[in-house]
Amino acid sequence: MSHILTELNEQCLTIVLNRVDKKNALTRDMYQQMADAIEHVKNDGNTKVVIIKGAGDCFTAGNDISDFANQQENAHVPETAAFMRALMECKIPVIAQVHGLAVGIGTTLLLHCDFVYATTDTRFVLPFINLGLVPEYASSYLLPKVAGHVKAAEWLMLGEPFGAQEAYQFGLLTKVVSPQDIEQTVLSAAKKLVEKPMFSLLQTKNLLKGDQSSVTQQMNEEFDIFLEALGTTAAQEAFDAFLKKRPINPEKFK
Ligand code: COA
């Protein structure tokens, strides 16, 4: 069974993260498949909405940590970047349907979606600092804009989980809904979007996004620092500790 499922139906592309036994942690293959799926529809002149959601009990546990730990030419980077660029440059609206957990890039990617619906029990976390890493894909630019510097600093410098209500209060979410209602809420939003005229839909998104040069500039800056961080003793210690299910050695995490 593929770790990414896609379905194109009624002018709506649905992408399902489907690596349930690993909490939908994202591998290189998964990123590439998602990038390909978005690239395929973004200019087809027919598809009007993309939905991204997770199978099982959560949205995603973020990047697969064994890929982070693999120092061979940062092998996972091209696929991750291909997906995030496809998402950021997607001309049609993107809806994220979030439940359970949205870790790391699972929260970062929400900043590049147009609608984010989350269940009341969702926990979000940006744990980069606890892995010896730094923010990625323009989150250090977009989060302060969305939530304010003080909240962004808390989320990114303490790296502790926060709930759906807090995420909503600080502008990360469109709406918080009960687990029973999330599927219907998202389908209903997608249906409304599909009923809009294509020209207005695309142009409205385009106008809302505006000039993306600051986003791209910050992303490139983060990128270089992220790659440097991956090679530090602290990061390698954090990855090894997670993969071996042992506590981090504070002597190596400085
Ligand atoms: N990368 C690789 N494997 C991961 C993973 C990740 N990001 N997240 C979870 N997994 C794996 C676990 O190793 C475990 O594998 P196993 O069954 O072979 O031992 C399986 O998924 C289930 O995870 P588990 O930790 O047992 O579930 P949990 O409910 O106790 O905890 C999380 C879930 C997400 C809180 C915890 O797995 C976690 O902290 N994961 C790392 C998240 C992270 O730091 N991501 C990177 C962000 S930059």
- The reported pLDDT for the residue numbered 72 is 63
- Percent of the chain's residues with pLDDT above 90: 94
Q: Which two tokens stand for residue 76?
A: 């996972």
Q: Which two tokens stand for residue 78?
A: 């091209």
pLDDT at residue 151 is higher than 70: yes
164-177 pLDDT per residue, tens: 999 999 999 999 99
Between vectors from CA 139 to CA 137 and to CA 141, what angle results, nearest 5°?
A: 110
Q: Which two tokens stand for residue 166?
A: 């807090």
Q: How far apart are CA 59 and CA 103, in angstroms?
A: 8
Cα end-to-end span (Å), the chain? 41
Label residue 100 exposed, middle or buried (CB < 10 Å: 0-12, 13-18, 19+): buried
pTM of the predicted structure, to 2 decimals: 0.97
193-251 pLDDT per residue, tens: 999 999 999 999 999 999 999 999 999 999 999 999 999 999 999 999 999 999 999 99
Q: For the residues 58-81, what does the mean pLDDT come to?
A: 86
Q: How far apart are CA 122 and CA 102, in angstroms?
A: 7
Q: Return the domain boundaries, the chain.
A: 4-179
**Nearest protein CA to atom 42 of ligand 1, as residue:** 61
Smallest CA-to-CA distance from 248 within 102, 13, 63, 65 is with: 65
20-66 pLDDT per residue, tens: 999 999 999 999 999 999 999 988 999 999 999 999 999 999 999 99
CA 242 to ligand 1 center in whole angstroms:
8
Per the CB < 8 A criterion, the answer to whether 128 and 136 are in contact is yes
Q: How far apart are CA 3 and CA 29, in angstroms?
A: 8
- The reported pLDDT for the residue numbered 68 is 87
Q: Which CATH class is domain 4-179?
A: alpha beta
- Nearest atom in ligand 1 to the alpha carbon of residue 101 is 34
- The reported pLDDT for the residue numbered 36 is 97
In this structure, the residues whose C-beta lies within 6 A of any atom of ligand 1 are: 22-23, 25, 61-66, 101, 103-104, 127-128, 131
Q: How far apart are CA 96 and CA 181, in angstroms?
A: 14
CA 190 to ligand 1 center in whole angstroms:
31
pLDDT at residue 158 is higher than 80: yes
CB atoms within 10 A of CB 143: 24
- Give phi and psi for 101, each to the nearest 5: -140, 140
Eight-class DSSP state of 153: H
Smallest CA-to-CA distance from 125 within 113, 114, 112, 139 is with: 139
Mutate to test the pocket of ligand 1, among 22, 23, 67 (most ligand atoms within 8 A of CB): 23
Between vectors from CA 118 to CA 79 and to CA 65, what angle results, nearest 5°?
A: 35
138-148 pLDDT per residue, tens: 999 999 999 99
CA 249 to ligand 1 center in whole angstroms:
19
Per the CB < 8 A criterion, the answer to whether 64 and 26 are in contact is yes
H/E stretch holding 6 reads: strand 4-9
At 75, the pLDDT band (50, 70, 90 cuts) reads low
**Which residues touch 251 (CB under 8 Å, ≥6 apart)?**
none
